[in-house]
Amino acid sequence: MALCPFISKLANAGQKNRSWLCIGLDFDPDLMPEVKPLEFGKAIIDATRDLVCAYKPNLAFYEALGIEGLRILEELTEYIPSDIPIISDAKRGDIGNTAKAYAKALFSTFGFDAATVNPYLGFDSVEPFISYRDKGVFILCRTSNAGASDFQDLHCTTGFSLYEEVAQKAKEWNVYGNIGLVVGATCPEELRKIRSICPEMPFLIPGIGAQGGDLALAVSYGMDAKGESAIIAVSRQILYASKEKNFAEAARSMAERIRQQINRCLAARPEAQ
């Protein structure tokens, strides 16, 4: 099976920048310096484009700004260098026809390289995204938020937890090699279990920084046997490293620091010795 173009683009960006760091491009007016969102986003991209393997805009922050927010999203998407993949953190998931429209919006209209998808409604809600064979589809599996255990840790009649069943289904659905999983750094033991179920699948791993996830464990348990395929997503810790005029420089300094930490953790893995 030929390698999915998104996976190739991700690997190339990671190798070029020696990085598995993904920066979330979100906007929180209470934490931002006094600059316009578009100016802020462009400055962050300019300061970090050589330090990342991907960018991840969360659509909620743009949608909250109305039509103007969508224009900002479109312009930032075009501003990101073409060799760096863009993961739309949209968490879409709905019945067939609606899912088709969501997939078209994210992949055809906006041109994102990948998207996060909620599998709660089952295969027909995910299939329209998977059918875009050149795009990445990150299925929510064991998320980083505090309430994730309300449902995701429940045991099914199979004897496995729901998140384990999601991982197994994702593995079965991955006929085009374009599926990945969202697994939070805040749940390292679950991350280790999921990696054992899907040994080669790319993982999008949020939860480092503001949410308190352990970076060393995320790298140790999240990377595949080659020391790849774990995208460490960080947003607030980098974006809001400073509220002053030097916010872009501060963001770069924090991003470089985290990238170095990831690479040190990679080098310390037993497989790398």
Task: Tell me if residue 243 is catalytic.
Answer: no
First CA to last CA across the chain, in angstroms?
Answer: 31
Residue 228 Cα distances to 101, 185, 209, 223, 269, angstroms: 32, 16, 21, 5, 12
In sequence order, the β-bridge partners of residue 205 are 232
Q: Residue 199 in 3-state DSSP?
A: coil
Q: How far does CA 180 lie from the centroid of its chain? A: 9
232, 21 Cβ separation under 8 angstroms: yes
Angle CA 1–140–159, to nearest 5: 95
SS3 content of the chain, % helix, strand, coil (to 5): 50, 15, 35
Q: Of the listed 91, 100, 104, 171, which one is catalytic?
A: 91
Return the half-sphere exposure (C-beta side, CA atoms, 13 A cut-off) of residue 102.
26
* Angle, vertex CA 135, rays to CA 133 and CA 137, nearest 5: 100
CA distance linking residue 63 with residue 37, whole number of Å: 13
What one-character DSSP code corresponds to residue 270? Answer: G
Q: Where are the beta strands (DSSP E) in 74-220?
A: 87-92, 114-117, 136-142, 179-183, 203-205
Active site amino acids: 91
